[in-house]
């Protein structure tokens, strides 16, 4: 639109210059024809006056159009400058968005790496958990064996205590028997 208006402006300007030149020629012709006869002069003057009036109105019209073209051209320039400023803002916003996008992509990569590490940690923990569960199962089994052995030890300890009591009683009986044997021997010696 800017180029179109500029072309239109140049065209009107050329028309204006052509009319100006024609007006100058007409005025020259008027000066030259002043030497002609009076009737011819009056007729020419009337024609020239009409032509001059037409040229003047055309010049005025072209002047208006030229002014309008200038205004439109200025408006287009203003619009172009405004568009240029908006384009700069859009480019700045695009650059900011691009930086933000790169930042988000980097964060996403980091999150994926962290997720991958967490999966590895989870797998290791699951394996460790399975191993611990096996150990707990073994410990429970050992605990049952231990409790069984404990009960067996208590039972055997009871039997040992009974046997110990019996041994002590036997020792006492033996001691009494030995004393009686000694007394009998002494008694027989008398």
- C-alpha–C-alpha distance, residues 103 and 120, integer Å: 26
pLDDT at 109: 93
pLDDT at 36: 53
0.75 exceeded by pTM: no
The residue that leads in pLDDT, 68 or 8, is: 68
- C-alpha–C-alpha distance, residues 83 and 76, integer Å: 10
pLDDT at 178: 80
Question: Which tokens is 60 given?
Answer: 């005025």
Task: State the total domains in the chain.
Answer: 1
pLDDT at 41: 60
pLDDT class of 38 with cuts at 50, 70, 90: low
- State mean pLDDT over 90-113: 93
Residue 118's domain spans which residues?
1-189
User: Does 87 score more than 90 pLDDT?
Assistant: yes
pLDDT class of 11 with cuts at 50, 70, 90: confident
37-to-27, 47, 122 alpha-carbon distances in Å? 17, 15, 120
């Amino acid at each position: 639109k800017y180029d179109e208006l500029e072309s239109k402006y140049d065209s009107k300007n050329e028309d204006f210059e052509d009319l100006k030149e024609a007006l100058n020629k007409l005025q020259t012709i008027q000066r030259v024809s002043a030497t002609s006869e009076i009737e011819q002069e009056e007729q020419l003057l009337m024609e020239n006056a009409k032509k001059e009036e037409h040229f003047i109105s055309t010049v005025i019209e072209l002047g208006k159009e030229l002014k309008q073209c200038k205004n439109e051209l200025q408006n287009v320039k203003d619009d172009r400058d405004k568009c240029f400023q908006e384009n700069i803002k859009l480019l700045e916003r695009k650059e900011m968005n691009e930086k933000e996008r790169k930042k988000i992509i980097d964060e996403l990569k980091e999150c994926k790496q962290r997720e991958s590490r967490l999966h590895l940690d989870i797998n290791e923990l699951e394996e460790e958990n399975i191993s611990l569960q096996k150990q707990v199962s073994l410990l429970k089994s050992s605990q049952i064996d231990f409790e069984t052995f404990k009960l067996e030890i208590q039972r055997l300890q009871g039997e040992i205590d009974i046997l110990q009591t019996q041994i002590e009683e036997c020792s006492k009986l033996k001691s009494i028997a030995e004393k009686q044997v000694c007394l009998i021997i002494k008694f027989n010696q008398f």
